[in-house]
Amino acid sequence: MAKPTADGMIAEPETSSRRASGRAEAPAVPIGPDELIDAYRRVRGVTELLCEPLGTEDYVIQTMPDVSPTKWHLAHTTWFFEQFILQDHSPGRYEPVNSLYDYLFNSYYNAVGPRHCRPRRGLISRPTVQEVLEYRRIVDDRIGRLLQCPDGAILETIAPLITLGIQHEQQHQELMITDIKHVFSSNPLLPAYREHEPDCGETAVVPLSMDWVDVPEGVYEIGTNAPKNGRPFAYDNETPRHRVFLEAFRLATCLVRNAEFLQFIQDGGYQRPEHWLSFGWATVTAEKCQCPLYWFREGGDAGPWLQYTLAGAREIDPGEPVCHLSYFEADAFARWAGARLPTEAEWEVAASAEPLVGHFADSLIFHPRQVSHANPGKLKQIFGDVWEWTSSSYEAYPGFEPPPGAVGEYNAKFMCNQYVLRGGSCATPVGHVRRTYRNFFPPDARWQFSGIRLAKDA
Amino acid sequence: MAKPTADGMIAEPETSSRRASGRAEAPAVPIGPDELIDAYRRVRGVTELLCEPLGTEDYVIQTMPDVSPTKWHLAHTTWFFEQFILQDHSPGRYEPVNSLYDYLFNSYYNAVGPRHCRPRRGLISRPTVQEVLEYRRIVDDRIGRLLQCPDGAILETIAPLITLGIQHEQQHQELMITDIKHVFSSNPLLPAYREHEPDCGETAVVPLSMDWVDVPEGVYEIGTNAPKNGRPFAYDNETPRHRVFLEAFRLATCLVRNAEFLQFIQDGGYQRPEHWLSFGWATVTAEKCQCPLYWFREGGDAGPWLQYTLAGAREIDPGEPVCHLSYFEADAFARWAGARLPTEAEWEVAASAEPLVGHFADSLIFHPRQVSHANPGKLKQIFGDVWEWTSSSYEAYPGFEPPPGAVGEYNAKFMCNQYVLRGGSCATPVGHVRRTYRNFFPPDARWQFSGIRLAKDA
Amino acid sequence: MAKPTADGMIAEPETSSRRASGRAEAPAVPIGPDELIDAYRRVRGVTELLCEPLGTEDYVIQTMPDVSPTKWHLAHTTWFFEQFILQDHSPGRYEPVNSLYDYLFNSYYNAVGPRHCRPRRGLISRPTVQEVLEYRRIVDDRIGRLLQCPDGAILETIAPLITLGIQHEQQHQELMITDIKHVFSSNPLLPAYREHEPDCGETAVVPLSMDWVDVPEGVYEIGTNAPKNGRPFAYDNETPRHRVFLEAFRLATCLVRNAEFLQFIQDGGYQRPEHWLSFGWATVTAEKCQCPLYWFREGGDAGPWLQYTLAGAREIDPGEPVCHLSYFEADAFARWAGARLPTEAEWEVAASAEPLVGHFADSLIFHPRQVSHANPGKLKQIFGDVWEWTSSSYEAYPGFEPPPGAVGEYNAKFMCNQYVLRGGSCATPVGHVRRTYRNFFPPDARWQFSGIRLAKDA
Amino acid sequence: MAKPTADGMIAEPETSSRRASGRAEAPAVPIGPDELIDAYRRVRGVTELLCEPLGTEDYVIQTMPDVSPTKWHLAHTTWFFEQFILQDHSPGRYEPVNSLYDYLFNSYYNAVGPRHCRPRRGLISRPTVQEVLEYRRIVDDRIGRLLQCPDGAILETIAPLITLGIQHEQQHQELMITDIKHVFSSNPLLPAYREHEPDCGETAVVPLSMDWVDVPEGVYEIGTNAPKNGRPFAYDNETPRHRVFLEAFRLATCLVRNAEFLQFIQDGGYQRPEHWLSFGWATVTAEKCQCPLYWFREGGDAGPWLQYTLAGAREIDPGEPVCHLSYFEADAFARWAGARLPTEAEWEVAASAEPLVGHFADSLIFHPRQVSHANPGKLKQIFGDVWEWTSSSYEAYPGFEPPPGAVGEYNAKFMCNQYVLRGGSCATPVGHVRRTYRNFFPPDARWQFSGIRLAKDA
């Protein structure tokens, strides 16, 4: 079986330059049908490839309301294409594959109609996995036929939607990984999803001298303008490009490691309310939270710290970036460390000249690498490895306008009580993330690969 | 593949005679190893046969805390034999098939150890269905070997436990049917478990003239004494045989039908608190309950009444016994009808001369038959079709003593806030039920095949 | 201030003789208007007298859904007279004191109309205490006028209802005491309701040799027939007198004391599931229950056991009857002690020749006395001190018929998931309880003065 | 009885000028002891004056977790002075008034110690109202004595804390009003707190031509620097003064009125998910929310709209500002109206030249005035009447540092999942609010006097 690699995914060229420079625009060449169907097929293939290690039973489970069954992800991403491209743009009256799938596989689009209640996605044994794969085949065929002989007008309309569907499917690829990790970790048998060798380069952990880059005060531009002809792709929530004033600040060159986080734990970090936001303290108290998600101690309170990874349970590696933290934990750690989290504008400005490379899902490792000590004074691991919590509430940029219709529900309606994360993780498809990319989760979410990069006032 | 029939199940000869007559004892001939392994294999086979219509995904789902996944039933009944026979009685140190299965598949035996939380049984994708079937194979082999060359002393000890395990597995066969019905009914696709023809004998429903049998006052004996040498089998909660005084009473010869229950609904039965127990009224109000479980109206409030059956959804047949009622609904209906539910002693005394025949699970229909109008003045459908709610709280009989050790937890510890049902249903394995058999469920339970037989003071 | 004494309450002469003897009937002389208004005024006075130790703020609080504010009790008992006597029986159209009081002070009578939600009774600051007392004055006056010149026909109708209202108010007197105990115990200041001297007769606790009375098997009569002309008063749930068969049994002569219950605690009683009903174990586990309600340890796990009493907090007296136990705790203790709880029929038969005397609320002590060791072989403290849990689910007696109309909701609709308690407590008004009296509470209720008398099979 | 007026409260002179102008500083003259004790006494007096209309029972009630009993407010504000001034700064060892008051009346200061659980504040009848007033007397005396002969060093330390305590007490004055409104509105009797005449100037509502002020893009300064010598007072969350870049925008001159909000309701605003944030839609759906808090229809769905005010229930006045809205309702209305909410920076910049006058609590009316149509093109009712929801999540300003110790918990730890409101309301004490003042509540909070001022991109 072929392994998916970086070139098995859509690379999305993107540039963003620093300090009110204006955006170096990628030429907005219209995307052609061949290129489109090619991209479509590669992403659809990667999704199914991620399922290869699973047994049929594994596709069905939903271990908490935030988690969706793998089967649901497979069907929902397909429904997205069926609903927004086939249903809305096929010539003549469209015959849906199954008229109940609208109900079962709509995630949250009120404009499309009523839908199955999210926390009950794991209570549906039918359609079976085979039937869902068949559903994928049929929709893939229909999309293929639609793109074979499109008239130009239709292509102009559907190309951005297919691109959106591809990006959407990549987001669900990441969720499939984080969701199956939650599913397997909830099973006392602690099954592995896929074996891999842990990092072994830097087993001796050197003390992490806190190393910072300095960014001067000024008016900067962040965000991006809406794509023309569908490219370069960006989500609506990244638009428009706009100016912000930043005071001078410092950003840590490295991610926070397990070694430092263990110090926080050993210093009573989870027992001392002065480090925590009020709502965070209420949450860790109510949930009896004493360590990052997926950490546990073997043999009780004095045993060694282990963590469940997608390759099974193993000891904590002190040199790896700490991950599976809530915003509350990231914020509490930062306060304990005498620092703070960066704002999303600070992060984006600092990252604007960084190359868009990193450790993404194409490695098939699904676990962050050790923190790099190379090149002091330079930002490292800005992209990939772990999503980095910012202190910024997820809000509309000035001048933001969601697109009309159901796809306008994609991002805008979640702009409340969520916090922005930046940079992508080891479970993010390569090519999916951008410097301007805004991921967002509620402050108590822990099941994503979420970690910490510290900031400070200058 | 062969279909299970009545003779594919263990028939359990049982007699009980009326009016303080003492029990006509079946001769307590010790059961032999050949007979035992035969009975064991037949029951184990029926369990797996019931799974034939299922897809792998169907085994995994738990749609409410009361429901267990089919996979769990398959494993738990096996664990019962492994724990109480192999583990406790094998010569030498026993090597369990998987040391975590004790944790995963113990239902409620505190004396055995900690266990997986019941409402989370549906969150466990592994062991897979294949692995569970393999677990069954291994335990079946080990039980077979144990019985091949038992010494007499061991046989005397384990024969009653194997018999208990067989009866236990039969109970889970019924639960598998009622649980999969809940699973399928929760799916908007409403899949069928197994097609069958509905009854079509009596489509024209004649008004049900209420017909009663009269039982005079007196001291009666009910219950049974503990088996000797493990036979005839009875659960501990049926013991000991003891005397009760009954005032004269009348028992309806027929079960209540859908036709009558529809009258109750149309008369505003679910809207009028005067029919209901206070706790029942609170329950139907909170759950917005307006009809029996699995009933619904096609096309809203004025549409025809349908019901989901294991053969799919179809119109209500007015001549069938109403079922899937809570104790609250049974009690409210009885009050509305100017009658009451029988006590379990009344039921048992009236049933004591009835032949132990009826419509059980061996028909593979899993839906009650039409109510019989034949033979006025005679009790009909006392056994099979639907479990009949009694007004009796599930309590210990005078002189009751649970057996020592973990199996003492089988029945006794549930004697609180549950009500007794009698007579078996269309999902009960043939031969499983007895005149003295006490089934019990909380008063709000509706997912069993539970119906109504009315009683009255004489 | 005058103290209420035994003669300040309605004594209710009652006899009940043993062993199928038939009931020795009290002559059913019709009650006259003078006697009635006298009894009415005495009971109404006692209610207000019980409020004397309270500050205005104390009347308003509801510390759990089961508890009602004192102010609510004062108003609800008044509403009962206004609704069922003045409203229903006054000549001409009745003008209610305040048309919203029907809504605010109806407890649970669906036939009367909608009502304020029970758990929100503590969220209502108006009417004020003064306004409620004024409400009492007005209704008392109107009842007085109605009884001053009744025609005979009306008297015959309302006399039983006034008697019912008087008995109802006595029940609320007990609830006022148990509710205010919960209110004060919930306050970290632990205020006392009323000082009193603890018992000091038997500070040296002698080991309680378990002493029993034996009752032979037989058919007994229990319950009572419905009153004629309203007397002797009995609640509908005590009717009709009927026969039961009892196997021979033994009943403990004494109540279980704190000393024995401490042994149960020290023996790990609350940590060992084998003593508990399944639902009881779930309850004590969920509520982290480790001792009777109102017990606590001063200074943590090793400190001495204290208990909150209505006279304030003080050390546990080992010679007092244990009280404030749930059914679950009573049942678990009995199992641990190798005994069981009596059925209500057993209790009533054993108590049938006992004099109706005991330690009731007229002592104004509101705490049980030390357990008596006098007169071995004789039942002691059968009445008063603590309500005695029986193993009997609260169910209708054979032939029971609730009265028509709203008062039919008084008792019958609660016959589900409740257990019967017998004998009255130190908070029960003297004269209120009878040998046939059936009190009932859900098995997890602990805030009543509820304790244990053991039974055994003979 | 004397009425409190504007000069009965602390006026706080404050200026803030626009466009990066730097702050025109008030001269930081140290505050003297006489001035301080005078301010202290005036504010303490106003608090008690607000209680005059209450009955004793009204002080005790807590109708939802967010609401505190009046009695608790009286005690907690006193505890604040006792804890942070007397306890921490009295010479010698301080003898607390009651050692349990620390536990009962600490609101949320973890650094001070454990405390009574917030949702149980309404379950405490003692200390009584009289005892709480006595507590106030004692602390007032001790504060008075402390200020009579302070040495200069102590004065310098405690003056800012007394000022903080005074401001804190003013905040609780507003909460007392909003909390008692919730208490009274929860009572079916709908009692009035204090009669007053409704506005009657502009009964004929003219259509509100949307009138806007325009603000050009630029770098502006907002916030304020930390006070020197305790004055001019500002909360830590308003600091430091810092620069922000704003795109050009427009701000509505008038508040949104009931008339417009009724149009939103009549247009199906509460039924159409496209207007709502996802979390807002979930909230209004779950709570069946169909109108602002305190609105209801007389006689069912077709009756006239009424609202409960502190003067009792009356018809909706279409010309009054709509209030008691959640952030979700304000945001949904703005989207429906084709506009948006302003950010807090936009609001502050636009308000920076507005005079600090408005309709505050000193009118004793506690209900917003009609919306003014005078002076087109000018901002109106920026201060007072209703708090104006901004779209800004409540976050730390760049460079913000909370003060050390327990008072550092005053504001900072709530910076999560809350939104900023600006401008003060009809329940805010005159002199309490500033241009830089940041009030904050969770997005579902409705019981404050919270309304809408619209904004738009230029």
User: Domain containing C320 — which CATH number?
Assistant: 3.90.1580.10
Residues A221, A137 within the same domain: no
Between CA D311 and CA B134 the distance in angstroms is 75
Question: Does B396 sit within 8 Å of C391, measured CB to CB?
Answer: yes
C120 has a chain D CB within 8 A of its CB: yes
Has residue D383 got a pLDDT over 50? yes
Chosen for mutation from B106, B271, B278, B444 (greatest number of chain C CBs closer than 10 Å) is: B278
Residue A151's Cβ-count burial label (10 Å; 0-12, 13-18, 19+) is exposed
pLDDT at position D2, please? 34
Beta strands in C187-226 (DSSP E): 212-215, 218-222
D279 has a chain C CB within 8 A of its CB: no
Residues D165, D227 within the same domain: no
The whole model's pTM is what? Answer: 0.92
Distance from CA of A201 to the nearest CA of B (A): 34
Q: Which of D277, D279, D395 sits opposite A391 (nearest CB)?
A: D395
The candidate with the shortest Cα–Cα distance to A271, out of A292, A285, A257, is: A285
Cis peptide before C119 (omega within 30 of 0): no
Strand partners, D315: D306
Has residue D90 got a pLDDT over 80? no
pLDDT at position B308, please? 97
Between CA A432 and CA A437 the distance in angstroms is 9
In tens, the pLDDT along D7-32 reads 333 333 333 333 333 333 344 455 78
Residues A218, A167 within the same domain: no
pLDDT at position D17, please? 35
Q: Which residue of B has its CA nearest to C327?
A: B416
Has residue B121 got a pLDDT over 50? yes
Mean pLDDT is lowest, of A228-237, B34-43, D146-155, for: D146-155
Question: Does A396 sit within 8 Å of D396, measured CB to CB?
Answer: no
D197 has a chain C CB within 8 A of its CB: no
3-state secondary structure A146-194: HHHCCCHHHHHHHHHHHHHHHHHHHHHHHHHHHHHHHHHHCCCCCCCCC
Between CA C288 and CA C341 the distance in angstroms is 24
pLDDT at position C154, please? 79
Between CA C370 and CA C384 the distance in angstroms is 12
Strand partners, A244: A220
Answer left, alpha or beta for residue C418, where phi above 0 means left and psi between -120 and 50 means alpha.
beta
Q: How many CB pairs under 8 A join A and B?
A: 88
Between CA A428 and CA A426 the distance in angstroms is 6
Question: Does C243 sit within 8 Å of B247, measured CB to CB?
Answer: yes
Q: Which two tokens stand for residue C393?
A: 């689910």
Distance from CA of B183 to the nearest CA of A (A): 7
Question: Does B279 sit within 8 Å of C245, measured CB to CB?
Answer: no
Between CA D421 and CA D386 the distance in angstroms is 9
The candidate with the shortest Cα–Cα distance to B197, out of B359, B365, B363, is: B365
Q: Hey, is D259 helix, strand or coil?
A: helix
The domain boundary, picked from A185, A204, A228, lies at A185
Question: Does B245 sit within 8 Å of C244, measured CB to CB?
Answer: yes
C399 has a chain B CB within 8 A of its CB: yes
Residue D177 lies in a domain: yes
Q: Which residue of D has its CA nearest to A456?
A: D399
Cα separation of the two ends of chain A: 52
Residues C98, C146 within the same domain: yes
Q: Which two tokens stand for residue C220?
A: 């007994």
Q: Which residue of D has its CA nearest to C115?
A: D188
Distance from CA of A181 to the nearest CA of D (A): 26
Residues C94, C180 within the same domain: yes
pLDDT at position C9, please? 34
Residues C134, C220 within the same domain: no
Residue A8 lies in a domain: no
Q: Which amino acid is at D216?
A: P
Question: Does D391 sit within 8 Å of A396, measured CB to CB?
Answer: yes
Chosen for mutation from A415, A417, A444 (greatest number of chain D CBs closer than 10 Å) is: A417
Q: Which amino acid is at C4?
A: P
Q: Which residue of B has its CA nearest to A129?
A: B57
Has residue B26 got a pLDDT over 60? no
Question: Does D398 sit within 8 Å of A393, measured CB to CB?
Answer: no
pLDDT at position B249, please? 97
D271 has a chain A CB within 8 A of its CB: no
Question: Does D60 sit within 8 Å of C125, measured CB to CB?
Answer: yes
Has residue B253 got a pLDDT over 80? yes
Residue A201 lies in a domain: no
Query: Which element (helix H / strand E) includes B457?
Result: strand B455-457
Q: Which amino acid is at C94?
A: Y
Task: Please tell me the total number of residues recorded for chain D in this structure.
Answer: 458
Q: Which of D278, D443, D457 sits opposite A414 (nearest CB)?
A: D278
pLDDT confidence tier of residue D92, bands split at 50, 70 and 90: low
D280 has a chain A CB within 8 A of its CB: yes
Residues D231, D104 within the same domain: no
In tens, the pLDDT along B230-243 reads 678 999 999 999 99
The candidate with the shortest Cα–Cα distance to D452, out of D269, D218, D202, is: D269
Residues of chain A positioned with their CB less than 8 A from the CB of D274: 110-111, 409
Residue B21's Cβ-count burial label (10 Å; 0-12, 13-18, 19+) is exposed
Question: Mean per-residue pLDDT for B55-72?
Answer: 97
Between CA C79 and CA C67 the distance in angstroms is 18
Phi, psi of C178 (to 5 degrees): -70, -30
Residue D64 lies in a domain: yes
- The half-sphere exposure of D55 on its side-chain side, counting CA atoms within 13 A, is 19
Q: Hey, is C116 helix, strand or coil?
A: coil
Number of domains in chain A: 2
Q: How many CB pairs under 8 A join B and C?
A: 82
Residue D198 lies in a domain: no
Question: Does D61 sit within 8 Å of C125, measured CB to CB?
Answer: yes
Between CA C260 and CA C252 the distance in angstroms is 14
C116 has a chain D CB within 8 A of its CB: yes
B111 has a chain C CB within 8 A of its CB: yes
Q: Which of C58, C103, C128 sits opposite D125 (nearest CB)?
A: C58
B52 has a chain C CB within 8 A of its CB: no
Question: Does C219 sit within 8 Å of B111, measured CB to CB?
Answer: no
pLDDT at position D122, please? 95
Residues A162, A218 within the same domain: no
Question: Mean per-residue pLDDT for D355-373?
Answer: 95
Residues of chain B positioned with their CB less than 8 A from the CB of C415: 277
Residues A171, A221 within the same domain: no
The candidate with the shortest Cα–Cα distance to B198, out of B425, B381, B383, B367, is: B367
The domain boundary, picked from D147, D170, D185, lies at D185
Q: For the residues of B365-395, what is the DSSP string, one character each?
A: --SPPPPP--STTS--S-EESSEEEEEEE--
B128 has a chain A CB within 8 A of its CB: yes
pLDDT confidence tier of residue B197, bands split at 50, 70 and 90: low
DSSP state of A410: T
Q: Which of B108, B398, B457 sits opposite C247 (nearest CB)?
A: B398
Structural domain harbouring D115: 31-185
DSSP state of B146: H
A281 has a chain D CB within 8 A of its CB: yes
The domain boundary, picked from B121, B150, B185, lies at B185
Distance from CA of C335 to the nearest CA of B (A): 11
Between CA D26 and CA D8 the distance in angstroms is 22
Distance from CA of B160 to the nearest CA of C (A): 22
pLDDT at position C200, please? 55
Q: How far is CA C76 from the centre of its chain?
A: 17
Q: For the residues of D68-111, what is the DSSP string, one character each?
A: --HHHHHHHHHHHHIIIIIIHHSSS----S-TTHHHHH--S-TT
Q: Which amino acid is at A15?
A: T
Question: Does D391 sit within 8 Å of A417, measured CB to CB?
Answer: no
Residues of chain C positioned with their CB less than 8 A from the CB of D188: 100, 103-104, 116, 124
**Is residue D366 a contact partner of residue D427, using CB atoms and an 8 Å limit?**
yes
Q: Which of A245, A274, A278 sits opposite D108 (nearest CB)?
A: A278
Distance from CA of B58 to the nearest CA of C (A): 30
Distance from CA of D15 to the nearest CA of A (A): 23
Q: Between B270 and D375, where is the model more confident?
A: B270
Q: Hey, is D167 helix, strand or coil?
A: helix
**Which position has the token pair 């604040």?**
D80
pLDDT at position A190, please? 96
Mean pLDDT is lowest, of C28-37, D56-65, D141-150, D343-352, for: C28-37
Ranges under pLDDT 50 in chain A: 1-28, 203-204
Distance from CA of B60 to the nearest CA of A (A): 7
Please, which chains are in contact with B (at least 3 CB pairs closer than 8 A)?
Answer: A, C
Residues of chain A positioned with their CB less than 8 A from the CB of D391: 395-396
- Going residue by residue through chain C, which has 458 residues, state the pLDDT in tens, using 9 for 90 and above: 333 333 333 333 333 333 333 333 344 455 788 899 999 999 999 999 999 999 999 999 999 999 999 999 999 999 999 999 999 886 668 999 999 999 999 999 988 888 888 989 999 999 999 999 999 999 999 999 998 876 777 788 889 999 999 999 999 999 999 999 999 999 999 999 998 766 555 544 556 568 999 999 999 999 999 887 667 899 999 999 999 999 999 999 999 999 999 999 999 999 999 999 999 999 999 999 999 999 999 887 888 999 999 999 999 999 999 999 999 999 999 999 999 999 999 999 999 999 999 999 999 999 999 998 888 899 999 999 999 999 999 999 999 999 888 888 999 999 999 999 999 999 999 999 999 999 999 999 999 999 999 999 99
User: Domain containing C84 — which CATH number?
Assistant: 1.20.120
Between CA D368 and CA D425 the distance in angstroms is 8
Taken in order C205, C210, C211, C215, the sign of the CA dihedral is positive
Residues of chain B positioned with their CB less than 8 A from the CB of C273: 110-111
pLDDT confidence tier of residue D300, bands split at 50, 70 and 90: confident
Query: Which element (helix H / strand E) includes D242?
Result: strand D242-246
Residue D93 lies in a domain: yes
Residue C194 lies in a domain: no
**Which position has the token pair 């002080």?**
D59
pLDDT confidence tier of residue B31, bands split at 50, 70 and 90: confident
Residues C151, C245 within the same domain: no
Q: Between β-strands A387-393 and A450-451, what pairing exists: parallel, antiparallel or unpaired?
A: parallel
Between CA C317 and CA C302 the distance in angstroms is 18
Distance from CA of B192 to the nearest CA of A (A): 11
Residues of chain D positioned with their CB less than 8 A from the CB of C188: 100, 103-104, 116, 124
Distance from CA of C399 to the nearest CA of B (A): 6
In tens, the pLDDT along B295-339 reads 999 887 888 999 999 999 999 999 999 999 999 999 999 999 999
Residues B180, B218 within the same domain: no
Phi, psi of D422 (to 5 degrees): -130, 150
Residues A111, A248 within the same domain: no
Residue C6 lies in a domain: no
- Name the CA radius of gyration of chain B, rounded: 22
Distance from CA of C21 to the nearest CA of B (A): 16
The candidate with the shortest Cα–Cα distance to A419, out of A385, A395, A403, is: A395
- The CA-atom distances, in angstroms, between B97 and each of B57, B71, B83, B102, B162 are 24, 16, 11, 10, 19
